[in-house]
Amino acid sequence: MSGLDGKVVLISGAAMGQGEAEARLCVERGARVVIGDVAEEQGRTVAASLGSSALFVNLDVTQAAQWAAAVAAAESAYGRLDGLVNNAGISMRLPLAELSVEQITRVWQINQLGPMLGMQHALEPMKRAGGGSIVNIGSAAGLRAAPRVGAYSATKWALRGLTRTVSREFAPFKIRVNIVHPGMIETPMISTLPPDMRETGRASIPLGRVGEASDIAAMVCFLLSDEASFITGAEHTVDGGGSA
């Protein structure tokens, strides 16, 4: 028996990268997943590859109505909602002086407002299920300072505080809330970095390699599982020792 057997998990931004890896590992460990993303073609392809254990829903995480529809789809298809992974996110690599109001707002909407709305809409379905687990995806950029990522970093620092606060609010309902901080992970987001930045980042990692999406998926699945039943309000760094 796996700690995810029979559980139903909604994952935002699950059409590719870390989210896709999380969805695949959840299914491998016995869960059924709802893949939420704005990338419809890619999301449907991932869901189809997972068969009856996966369902795709269009999910713009900045829209409350789409969150409501996503959790309703989970309950309609699978009868319950046990887990939520707030994985969707975007980065903006510009000096603060060059950021427009529109760019700052967009990063905030996806990286901070999105998880807030997701947790709001997951609350009642998880209460009906008798409890659950929420995993927010933070970042090593929310643990230490770095230039040119002010908008992104600010949202990840804020998500740390939000995670801890909500963990206290949701605890009476047996809903656990934790956050995972990935370091440099081989995903489409990282592939946009200039080669020199990628090499500098790799060289700064004590374990000597860039992480894989599977490294994050393993931690996420653990936190979603019954094995983590006494863990809430906690921060988990998966960065090869870079922030040590």
Asked if residue 49 lies in contact with residue 23, where contact means CB atoms within 8 angstroms, the answer is no
Average pLDDT, the chain: 94
In a domain, 142, yes or no: yes
Please report, for the domain that includes residue 115, its CATH number.
3.40.50.720
pTM score:
0.95
Task: Write out the residue range of the structural domain in which residue 130 sits.
Answer: 8-184+216-237
Token digits of residue 123: 């609350």
The reply to whether 211 falls in a domain is no
Confidence of residue 197 (pLDDT cuts 50, 70, 90): low
192 part of a folded domain: no
243 inside domain: no
Confidence of residue 200 (pLDDT cuts 50, 70, 90): confident
- 237 DSSP assignment: E
pLDDT at 189 over 90: no
Q: Domain for residue 191, yes or no?
A: no
Is residue 118 in a domain? Answer: yes
User: Per the domain annotation, does 244 fall within a domain?
Assistant: no
Per the rule left: phi > 0, alpha: psi between -120 and 50, beta: everything else, 61 is alpha
Question: What is the pLDDT confidence band of residue 3, given thresholds at 50, 70 and 90?
Answer: confident
Q: Which tokens belong to 57?
A: 């829903």
Query: Which of helix, strand or coil describes residue 93?
Result: coil
Structural domains in the chain (count):
1
Query: How far lies 58's CA from each of 68, 89, 130, in Å?
Result: 11, 15, 26
Catalytic residue from among 56, 67, 78, 152: 152
Reported as a single tens digit per residue, the pLDDT across 136-167 is 999 999 998 888 889 999 999 999 999 999 99
In a domain, 146, yes or no: yes
Confidence (pLDDT) at 199: 73
pLDDT over threshold 70, residue 39: yes
Q: Is 78 a catalytic residue?
A: no
